[in-house]
Each structure stands twice: as C-alpha cells, then as structure tokens.
Chains A and B, each alone.
Chain A
Amino acid sequence: MAPLVQSWAGAYVKTPAAVTVTYGAIGSGGGIDQITARTVDFGASDAPMTPDQATACKSCLQIPWALGGVSIEYNVKGVPNNLKLTGPVLADIYLGNISSWNDPAIAKLNPGVSLPSTHITPIYRSDGSGTSFVLTDYLSAVSPDWSSKVGASTQPTFPTGTGAEHSSGVIAAMQATDGAITYSEVSYVAADHLNAALIANAAGTYESPTEKSILAAAAVGTTRSDGTIKLVNPPAAAADAYPLSSYTYVIVPETSPKASVLKPFLDYAVGSTGQAFGPPVYPALPSAVASSAKALIAKIHS
C-alpha cells in the first residue's frame, strides 16, 4: 500500500494544511522498528504487531487505514494468467509436498490447462513482512499441516524455496525464475503485468483480489484481542470474498510530539477524500472501520 500513502502525501501537501509527508516503503518489519525507536512519526504494517513488538513500541496505536490484500503471482512458461489454486494446494506448494507444476493436485483444479513439468520454486520474503503474515495466517487456517509445521508470522520459517528482500526483491526473483511462485501486496499485479492465481474461498468460489471480493471479505472480518481485524479465510457465507484480504495499519505512539500535524493527516487519510484514492486496487474502508479509526486517531496527544 505504499502507492496509496504516496498519493495521499502528494495530495495532502496541496491542501491548506500544506504539510509534507515522507513515506519510505521499507517493509512492515522495518517500519515497526523505526516507530519503536521513534526515528519516524508513524509506521505502517500489513500485520498486527507481535506481543513483543507491541511491548517494545510502548503504547502504540494500530489504526486501520487501508484495505487491501495479498495476491499470489507465478511465472511458468506456457501457463496463462488466472491459474486456479486452493488454500491447501498452496500450502502443499510452500511446504514442498507439491514440487512440479503438472502435479495432479494442480491439474485437477485446472482442467483444460496444459501444465509443464517445471520444478516449482516458491519465493518468499526473507525480511519481516506483513504480506508473509497474511499468507501464513491464511495457510495456517486452511491447512492443519501448515499450522503445525510452520505457523503464522511476519518471519515464518519457510521449509523450502528461495528468500528475497522486500516486495521488489521477490517480484524480481520470480520474474527471473521459470517455475517460480510468490506473493506480494495486490498493487504489484497490475503495475508489473504479472500472472496472478485465483484462490478458492471457503465457499469454493475462485476469486481474484478485486474491489468487490476484498470488500466482501471486509464485511465479515473478526476482531482480534489487540483490536486489529482478521480478514483471511472468511466463512463460506461470504461467497464472493477473496480469502487473502487484509487491513493495513498505521502505527502511531499515543504520545507523539507531532500530534498536532499528524492527527489531521491521519484523519485525511482515513476520511472520504483519502480513501477515494484507493479503488480499484485498495477499496475504501467500510464506514464502521473508518469511524473506529477516527476514534483511535482522536486518542493521539502530544
């Protein structure tokens, strides 16, 4: 969601507030580290902070400010866009149980697609990433095997494949490797013309991350104990929901020396003007979430 924050910053400097906002896409982990050290005024993350991170950050607020998701991209010579995958098959690919593209498990989901015998190279983030959390949180929900062997984390121990740093790194590594599969925040698919997979949700419908499918997942989100909202693997009742949707959070210390300039910017971002920059890639926040975000922003003080 770096592109979204950058468009906010670009527009916000032209508003009467005329405040310049600088945002670097250094990865969720790096963002949490820097806000913990207070070397920046805010951080952003696709994953909720771990208990250790939250403790270290000392009364930091996690405010939902963008809605998006993680897409699954692949680069396999001869395989067209929109390959169909299910959560358990994706888990088996990342576990190394499925290691060639013409594996019967993948072929069964894609009748009529001729799949090569190319070796599958899963590519993952070697640095701490919210996208890794969204993916592994989802895989833990749909695959008992994944849940017991790997689990959900911003830095999970992937049992096979290749690591690369940052979204740009995993995309570049995927593009350089025939047979590669990877994951990234949704905006990269359109920006880099990548082949992305359709993922089956709990209702058995194959969905791509669109405005409609992400909003369908957001409609049935569940609140975690730390107040963040879980969207992955929505229940079957949400028949159109994309199963790898997620909120992105802005992380701000409750006591911030820049509260007086920071609060209006955050209000702008979660408000209707800011959210209008998002679609179709980032659907606007549902109104209930936007108002709870505003309530959290109001808590910030200097």
Chain B
Amino acid sequence: MLVLALVMVLLVWNVVDQARPSISEFGVGFLTGTEWNAVTDKFGALDLICGTLATSLIALLIAVPIAIAIALFLTELAPAVLRTPVGMLVELLAAIPSVVLGLWGIVVMGPFLNDHVEPWMISHLGFIPFLDGYPSPVGLLPACLILTIMIVPIVASISRELLSSVPSDLKAGAMALGATRWEMVRRVALPQVGAGLVAGTMLGFARAVGEAIAVTQVIGGSLVRPQNLYAPADTMAGRLAAQYSGAATALQKASLAYLAVILLVISLITNLIANLIVRRMRRRLGTP
C-alpha cells in the first residue's frame, strides 16, 4: 500500500516536473489558449479540453440510459435462464482491448457512419447548428460512439450489482401495496441506489476521459476546432498519444506533459467524488 502511494507520488511529481517549462511559459492561460502550433511554439489546451469533455459527456449521455436499462432488464424482467449469459456478454464487452475496438471503429463503424448515418443526419437534421457539414469516416461522432461502447459495460455491471442489492422485501412490499413493476422500480429501487448510480456514471466518465488509443484511431487527430459533429477533432489523451514521441520543440514536449497533468487532475477529482459518494452510501446502507 505504502509502495503504491510512493509510486503514485513519484509519477505525479515526474509529470509535473516535465510540464514545468510549459507551466512557467503559459501559466493558467494554457487552459484557455486555442492555438497548438509547433512552428510558432505557442500551445493552448482549450480545444483539447473541450474535445475530451464533449466526447466523454456525449458518450455518457448515450451510455447511461442504455446501461441502466440493461441492468433493469437483467434484475427485474429477464427470465432466470437469460440473466447469467446476457450479464456475462455485457461484461465481456468490457474485456475487448480498446485497440481492437478502435480497429473495428476504423474498418466497420466509420465507413458505415460515413456512407449511411451521417448523410441522413445532414439532410434531415442539418438545420440544427453543428449538425450540418460533410460526412467523414473519422471524427467526433465515431469517437463518441466508441466511448459509448466502452462505458456501457462498466456502468451496466455496477448498476446491476446495485439493483440486485435492493432488499427483495422492499420490492415485494411496494408491489403488495399495489405499485406496478415500473412504479416499484421508479419509486423504490432506483431511489435506493441513486447515489451509487451517480458514482458508477462517474467511473464511466473517468474511463472515457482517459481513453487514448481507441479515440485516437477514430477521432481524426484534427489540429483545429471541429466545425461540426462529423468533423475530425482531438482530445487531450489523443494528442498526448500522437505527438509525445517526436515532439519538435522542447516547449511542445512540456506542453504535452501539461496536458497529462490536466488529465491527472480531472480523473483524480472524478474518482475522488465517486469514492466519496460510494462511501456515504455504504454508511447509509450500513454495509461495510
């Protein structure tokens, strides 16, 4: 335990140390700078921070309802024979290496989106800002969808465990009072585990924020801000993976380390909040 903590401290110190030239050159302005240019040696992270938050939040928005629906199906609706195999299948999805998922994104999903989904979205939803443009096999949309696929199993398996921990006498009681199954889920089961669901969602968010490989494979590594949902963009983790090896200037290398510091801070905060919520909930439920 002590060794782990020491490794953690050394790692953070090392990253901060590498980032130091950039921190002293750009300061807090790095967070709001939009230029990323190795020729003029000016670096700012705003577009990348936005790219990370946008892809992760859109992915969460799609993934959380699906994941909770899967969990409810498995705990409340599915016949007993289906529960184990379907539950295992969903968890297996989490076992797919992200590089393989990214490859599938390049070969199968990207071209499909480019040929069928995006042209339809452009002609039918193009009047909405940010949804007009040119189809592209790589870009924000494929990145969001790949992240969705990665988050669903995490959130689903946490939600399933939480929902199956709701005492059955509580559920039976609600049904005995005349609640329909849906009313029981909405009024009794979900409120019981609400905080846990939030924590599970945050763990999914932390996963999405830090994912580099699969996102790099499908997001299109754009160096400028995307003009629409289909256009190539980039995230902090993606930029770090693509440019760290072979950075042209010393300041660029330091700025990439600065991105790593920001990523560290975001995931530390997310995990801390998730942990606090879980701890509070455990105390309330009286489980150790």
Residues on the A chain within 8 Å of B247, using CB: 29, 33, 128, 155
In the complex formed, the residue of A with least CB distance to B223 is: A157
In the complex, how many angstroms separate the beta carbon of B152 from the nearest chain A beta carbon?
A: 26
State whether A154 touches B222 (Cβ < 8 A): no
Residues on the B chain within 8 Å of A157, using CB: 35-39, 223-224
**How many of chain A's residues touch chain B, expressed as a range?**
35 or more
> With A157-B37, A157-B224 in contact, is A30–B138 under 8 Å at CB?
no
Residues on the A chain within 8 Å of B242, using CB: 126-127, 163, 165
In the complex, how many angstroms separate the beta carbon of B5 from the nearest chain A beta carbon?
A: 28
Chain A window 171-195, contacts with chain B (Cβ cutoff 8 Å), 1 for yes, 0 for no: 0110011000000000000000000
Residues on the B chain within 8 Å of A28, using CB: 246
> With A153-B38, A157-B224 in contact, is A176–B243 under 8 Å at CB?
no
Residues on the B chain within 8 Å of A164, using CB: 138, 220-221
In the complex, how many angstroms separate the beta carbon of B111 from the nearest chain A beta carbon?
A: 6
State whether B111 touches A154 (Cβ < 8 A): no
In the complex, how many angstroms separate the beta carbon of B180 from the nearest chain A beta carbon?
A: 50
In the complex, how many angstroms separate the beta carbon of A154 from the nearest chain B beta carbon?
A: 5
CB-contact partner of A126 in B39, B221, B251, under 8 A = B221
CB-contact partner of A163 in B37, B137, B222, B250, under 8 A = B222
> With A153-B248, A158-B223 in contact, is A176–B110 under 8 Å at CB?
yes
In the complex formed, the residue of B with least CB distance to A150 is: B39
> With A126-B221, A162-B138 in contact, is A151–B40 under 8 Å at CB?
yes
Chain A window 21-65, contacts with chain B (Cβ cutoff 8 Å), 1 for yes, 0 for no: 000001111111100000000000000001011011000000000
State whether A52 touches B249 (Cβ < 8 A): yes
In the complex formed, the residue of B with least CB distance to A50 is: B248
State whether A151 touches B106 (Cβ < 8 A): no
State whether B232 touches A163 (Cβ < 8 A): yes
Could you tell me the distance between the alpha carbons of A30 and B245 in the complex, rounded to whole angstroms?
A: 5
In the complex formed, the residue of A with least CB distance to B107 is: A176
A275 in contact (CB, < 8 A): no
Residues on the A chain within 8 Å of B35, using CB: 157
In the complex, how many angstroms separate the beta carbon of B223 from the nearest chain A beta carbon?
A: 5
Chain B window 17-61, contacts with chain A (Cβ cutoff 8 Å), 1 for yes, 0 for no: 000000000000000000111111000000000000000000000
CB-contact partner of B38 in A27, A119, A126, A155, under 8 A = A155
Residues on the A chain within 8 Å of B249, using CB: 50, 52
In the complex, how many angstroms separate the beta carbon of A145 from the nearest chain B beta carbon?
A: 14
> With A29-B246, A127-B243 in contact, is A119–B134 under 8 Å at CB?
yes
Residues on the A chain within 8 Å of B243, using CB: 126-128, 155
> With A128-B243, A176-B137 in contact, is A56–B221 under 8 Å at CB?
no
Q: How many contacting A-B pairs (Cβ < 8 A)?
A: 102
State whether A128 touches B245 (Cβ < 8 A): yes
Residues on the B chain within 8 Å of A32, using CB: 246
State whether B222 touches A162 (Cβ < 8 A): yes
State whether A161 touches B232 (Cβ < 8 A): yes
State whether A53 touches B221 (Cβ < 8 A): no
> With A157-B38, A172-B106 in contact, is A27–B246 under 8 Å at CB?
yes
Residues on the A chain within 8 Å of B134, using CB: 119
Chain A window 133-167, contacts with chain B (Cβ cutoff 8 Å), 1 for yes, 0 for no: 00000000000000000111111111111111100
In the complex formed, the residue of A with least CB distance to B36 is: A157
Docked complex: B235-274 residues within 8 A CB-CB of A: 242-243, 245-252
> With A119-B134, A164-B221 in contact, is A156–B245 under 8 Å at CB?
no
CB-contact partner of A156 in B38, B114, B232, under 8 A = B38
In the complex, how many angstroms separate the beta carbon of A3 from the nearest chain B beta carbon?
A: 21
Docked complex: B206-241 residues within 8 A CB-CB of A: 216, 220-224, 232, 234
Docked complex: B34-93 residues within 8 A CB-CB of A: 35-40
Chain B window 127-168, contacts with chain A (Cβ cutoff 8 Å), 1 for yes, 0 for no: 000000010111100000000000000000000000000000
State whether B224 touches A160 (Cβ < 8 A): yes
Residues on the B chain within 8 Å of A156, using CB: 38-39
In the complex, how many angstroms separate the beta carbon of B21 from the nearest chain A beta carbon?
A: 11
State whether B248 touches A155 (Cβ < 8 A): yes
In the complex formed, the residue of B with least CB distance to A130 is: B246
Could you tell me the distance between the alpha carbons of A28 and B216 in the complex, rounded to whole angstroms?
A: 19
State whether A165 touches B216 (Cβ < 8 A): yes
Residues on the B chain within 8 Å of A121, using CB: 136
State whether A152 touches B224 (Cβ < 8 A): no
Could you tell me the distance between the alpha carbons of A209 and B233 in the complex, rounded to whole angstroms?
A: 33
Could you tell me the distance between the alpha carbons of A153 and B41 in the complex, rounded to whole angstroms?
A: 11
Residues on the A chain within 8 Å of B139, using CB: 162
In the complex, how many angstroms separate the beta carbon of B121 from the nearest chain A beta carbon?
A: 16
State whether A162 touches B232 (Cβ < 8 A): yes
Residues on the B chain within 8 Å of A29, using CB: 245-248
Could you tell me the distance between the alpha carbons of A155 and B249 in the complex, rounded to whole angstroms?
A: 10
State whether A176 touches B39 (Cβ < 8 A): no
Residues on the A chain within 8 Å of B251, using CB: 52
Residues on the B chain within 8 Å of A162, using CB: 136, 138-139, 220-222, 232
Q: Could you list 11 A-B pairs, sorted by A, with CB under 8 Å?
A: A27-B245, A32-B246, A52-B251, A126-B221, A127-B245, A128-B243, A128-B247, A157-B38, A157-B223, A159-B223, A163-B234
Task: Give the 6 A-B CB pairs with smallest separation, nearest first.
Answer: A29-B246, A163-B221, A128-B246, A126-B221, A151-B39, A162-B220
